[in-house]
Amino acid sequence: MAAFIHVYFYENMHVYMLSDNSVFAKFLESLTIYSSFLRQDPLIFVCGFIGLIYLMFTNSIFKTWHGKALFVAMMISNAAFVVYGYHAGQVYQYYELAFFPYIVVPSVFLLIQLFKFYQFKITKVNESQIFIGSVLISLFLVLGVNNNILSSKIFPNNASVTLQSTTKPQQPAQIIFGNIMRQQSHGRPTLLNYGSIDMGFYTTSGALPTNYYFQNYNIAYNKAPQIMNSQNESIKKAKTQWVVVNTPAGKNIKQWHGTGSKKISAGNLNPGTKKISKVMLRNYRVVALHTQNFENTNVAYWLLKRKSAKPSD
């Protein structure tokens, strides 16, 4: 419970943040972000703002002012805390999902009233057209807000899978490394994904984290030095059988010195491997290398295996 409170109520609000303004100013920034979210798209504006006005001045959703006041208070509190400490230009699109309940609830009831007003009903005559239309609208909306499909199996050997120019079907680093670790480990493998976020390597290998700080976060070193200190100590003592390291494509472990920010950079690249490379390559040997694109960055993923075998290996 102490760790939960520390991470979600201290780290998130005082460390993993971008704004250095006062507490009051941070709340205003949060509300400004929520306001801009409502204004940035006509459909969201209608469903969110107009839907909220509809909610406040009718009794079709909440019958009493207590219910209305509670809903609005929840919405304002949510808007204030979800992006507390962030600048408007540093809010990722998926953060806005936290605002959607307060848009969906009013918009659903608003649509119901519109259907009633125009006496719109689904019958055996029009149900097929409505179904087909709903599917087409859904596809349009989904494909219009993200391009994840371009990184799916529909497009084999896309950049998120491999940067190798070949027509032979390839697998991403996560699958390749996971298979190697499963095949060459006795029992469950132990793994450290050095200096970066999880990226799925623990899942594909079947490894359960043995390090408390089994991944790094988008936090500057001076704000939480224990994370990388713990991982460096793990490398020095060769605590895990396997290590996954990433560098920019074209650079090796000895060359990657980081961006100077001492935190994760674009592509979830680690803060640098040059300083730890000597002891890392003394205790571990490179088993596999794979390059692929992540977040518009060409990344080289390195799989290293501990040199001195232990009984668990």
In tens, the pLDDT along 47-94 reads 777 878 888 888 878 889 998 899 889 988 888 888 888 877 777 777
Query: Which pairing describes strands 242-248 and 191-193: parallel, antiparallel, or unpaired?
Result: parallel
- pLDDT-based confidence at residue 251 (cuts at 50, 70, 90): very high
pLDDT recorded at residue 84: 82
pLDDT recorded at residue 33: 85
Query: Which pairing describes strands 242-248 and 284-294: parallel, antiparallel, or unpaired?
Result: unpaired
**Phi–psi pair at 265, nearest 5 degrees:** -115, -175
Q: What is the C-alpha separation between 27 and 56, in angstroms, rounded?
A: 24
Mean pLDDT of the chain: 88
Q: Which amino acid is at 123?
A: T
In tens, the pLDDT along 88-145 reads 777 777 788 888 888 888 888 878 888 888 888 888 888 899 899 999 988 888 887 7
pLDDT recorded at residue 311: 61
Sheet holding 297-306, edge to edge: 191-193, 242-248, 297-306, 284-294
pLDDT recorded at residue 179: 97
pTM value? 0.81
Tell whether the model's pLDDT for residue 184 goes beyond 70.
yes
Contact 143, 150 (CB under 8 A): no
Structure tokens at 292: 């692929």
Contact 313, 241 (CB under 8 A): yes
Positive or negative torsion for Cα 47, 52, 58, 59: positive
